[in-house]
Structure 1
């Protein structure tokens, strides 16, 4: 199920952007959340189908799925590489080193960009298996 905020945003008139959260490291090694938007442009993607809204395409080298079971918990760690995560099922709670805690579930998008410094910690919340893309 889509995050209700994302679903209402997509279905409210012109879907000209998607929101996501970036986890990043500042110049002194502390990690933070940052709310960002991806611009979507209307294009003729597959005529005669109606136009769609798409972001600029980004290069990728690999992609995959990840799954963890309820109760999974990690201590502080930096991400092994810069990566987008799209939440398909279950709920994750993430904490950054400035003390802020946020929850992410189906429909959420994060850019995990804290490859240096203390990193973040995450844990599965609830009873559902976590599936990420």
Structure 2
């Protein structure tokens, strides 16, 4: 399963990467068909956020801890400090790990948005694909 990632290098510059979240075919209960499921990952908290309509650009910022964001509606364009821009539509998730350095910019679509933030432990690492 593909996931967009925003991370910072030791010099504090932010960049994009696409990572593969490993999955296995699993039934979630005895009568269900099998489908792709990732491993279980530790989370320290889950927050639901509502971004109001008309909020366009958020200045350069970083996250205090690694966070997996799940965009339920609306869209955002992220820009990293190297100048690359990626469009993230509703239904997408992004692993944001730029906890130091310059951070990234967020340019939100004009409509209101709902985003789930899943905080991950510092030092969190995905298993190799």
Look up the match of 2:98.
114
Take 1:89 and 1:26, find their aligned partners in 2: how far apart are those partners?
30
The alignment covers a number of residue pairs equal to: 115
Unpaired stretches in structure 2, ≥5 consecutive residues? 117-129
Given that residues 78 and 120 in structure 1 are in contact (C-alpha distance below 8 angstroms), is that contact kept between their aligned partners in structure 2?
yes
Alignment of 1:1-133 (within 5 A): 18-72=1-55, 73-125=57-109, 127-133=110-116
RMSD of aligned C-alpha atoms?
1.1
Unpaired stretches in structure 1, ≥5 consecutive residues? 1-17
1:110 match: secondary structure: strand
Given that residues 83 and 112 in structure 1 are in contact (C-alpha distance below 8 angstroms), is that contact kept between their aligned partners in structure 2?
yes
What is the TM-score with the length of structure 2 in the denominator?
Answer: 0.84
CA shift at 1:70, angstroms?
A: 2.7
CA shift at 1:102, angstroms?
A: 1.0
What is the TM-score with the length of structure 1 in the denominator?
Answer: 0.81
Given that residues 54 and 112 in structure 2 are in contact (C-alpha distance below 8 angstroms), is that contact kept between their aligned partners in structure 1?
no
Given that residues 97 and 120 in structure 1 are in contact (C-alpha distance below 8 angstroms), is that contact kept between their aligned partners in structure 2?
yes
Given that residues 79 and 115 in structure 1 are in contact (C-alpha distance below 8 angstroms), is that contact kept between their aligned partners in structure 2?
yes
Take 2:32 and 2:65, find their aligned partners in 1: how far apart are those partners?
37
Structure 1 stretches of 4+ moved >6 Å: none
